[in-house]
Amino acid sequence: MKTTIYDVAEKAGVSISTVSKVMNDQQVGKKSKQKVLKVMQELNYRPSVLASALTGKRTSTIGLLLPDLANPFVAEMARRVEDRAHEFGFSLVICSTDLNPEKEERSVSLLRQKSVDGFILASAFNNRRVIADLVDDNVPVLLLSESHPQFAVNSINIDNIVGGYQVASHLVSLGHTRIAVIGEDATSSQQRINGYKQAFQESGLTVHEDLIAISDSSVEHAQRLTKELLNHPKKPTAIIACNDVLAIAAILAAREIGLDIPKDLSITGFDNTLLSKSCDPPLTTVEQGLDKMCAQAVDLLIEEIEGKSTSKQRILVLPQLVIRKSTAFCQD
């Protein structure tokens, strides 16, 4: 049998409430405290989080929902969130949603049954009704690298518009005018695309909507889309990918067609993952201050969970262009 608070109490010759009090750092006589502590050691006692949570305490567990844990960028985020959460004694239940609204709903519902203390919706979360329910029910929620301005929830984000603007401007300054975009069905991609459009307009260039493609998250689909884009009558000389994984898919596709990068085609990524450094050629991409973002996210959420802060914040972090070898002057 697992050892319970009763076992400890009995062996220490005190009542269970005394034991409970030493666990919760409440006023207890020195002698009793020593004794209890000692017995807890001896019995290798581990208080049940279940039982204590049932009485209204926290489970010290956060639900982390993200599109796909297998995506290296997402995994990097998860790891950083995890580290910070651990510092506060919280653990993470992680669910990949594949951007699928039903999965999103199921996961949240399941985690609520398991009484997680709060949620971090990271990178992209589509099902707004689910967010609305969470907000209605006063469940702490934080949006990380995702934004839904209609909800009054804590959120922390890079300025994707600026990021999209930065890559587009960079390409334009290299002489490119026919620039395709490949993104995902997510707010962040949408915003990056908006930044791109802004840059185009400022430079007096026309945006061609049919040079903008939206991929599901599979590498295969992205490659197919890339090939289609490259076969477009207004053959683009550059492709902006809305994340590094897409960029790499684009590189592979372009190479299959026999294109040299960056000579024949410039490609940019987004996120500055490990991938972008090690691929061939190394990617021009956009760096976000992931580390701080994730740490802040956890801090904010835990503050809300512990009721230490009642006001919500929306934090915007500015991104930074990292120029590597995948972009070059337009040869056209």
Partner DNA sequence: ATGAAAGCGCTAACAG
Partner DNA sequence: CTGTTAGCGCTTTCAT
Instruction: Give the burial class of 196: count Cβ atoms within 10 A of its Cβ; 0-12 exposed, 13-18 middle, 19 or more buried.
Output: buried
Does position 321 bind DNA by CB under 7 A? no
**Which amino acid does the sequence have at 307?**
G
Backbone dihedral angles phi then psi of residue 215, each to the nearest 5 degrees: -105, 145
- Name the minimum Å distance from CB 228 to DNA: 51
State which of residues 41, 44, 55, 138 lies at the interface with DNA (CB under 7 A). 55
* Binding segment (CB under 7 A) for DNA, from list 44-52, 138-146, 258-266, 317-325: 44-52
Between the alpha carbon of residue 174 and those of residues 68, 170, 232, 255, 290, the distances in Å are 34, 6, 21, 21, 28
Sequence-separated (6 or more) residues with CB below 8 Å from residue 222 = 182, 215, 241, 245, 246, 249, 250, 253
What tokens appear for 135 in the block?
A: 């907000």
Q: Kindly state the tokens that stand for 181.
A: 């975009």
28, 99, 143, 275: residue in contact with DNA (rule CB under 7 A): 28
- Judged by CB under 8 A, does residue 317 bind a copy of itself? no
Residue 29 contact, options DNA, a copy of itself, none, Cβ 5-8 Å cut-off depending on partner type: DNA
24 binds, options a copy of itself, DNA, none, Cβ within 5 to 8 A by partner type? DNA
**Calpha distance 249→244 (Å, rounded):** 9
Choose, by CB under 8 A, the member of 18, 20, 96, 285 that binds a copy of itself.
96
Radius of gyration of the chain (CA): 25
- Name the minimum Å distance from CB 245 to a copy of itself: 8
The pattern of x and - marking residues 232 through 251 that bind a copy of itself according to CB under 8 A reads -------------x--x--x
Told to check if 40 binds DNA by CB under 7 A, we report no
CA end-to-end span of the chain? 76
CB of 325 to a copy of itself, least distance (A): 10
Binding flags for a copy of itself, 28-47, as an x/- string (CB under 8 A) = ------------------xx
By CB under 8 A, is residue 68 in contact with a copy of itself?
A: yes
Q: How far is CA 38 from CA 6, 16, 41, 149, in A?
A: 15, 15, 5, 52
From DNA, a copy of itself, none, interface partner of 68 (C-beta below 5 to 8 A by class): a copy of itself
Binding site for DNA (CB under 7 A): 1-2, 4-6, 13-18, 20-21, 23-24, 27-29, 31-33, 47-48, 51-52, 54-57
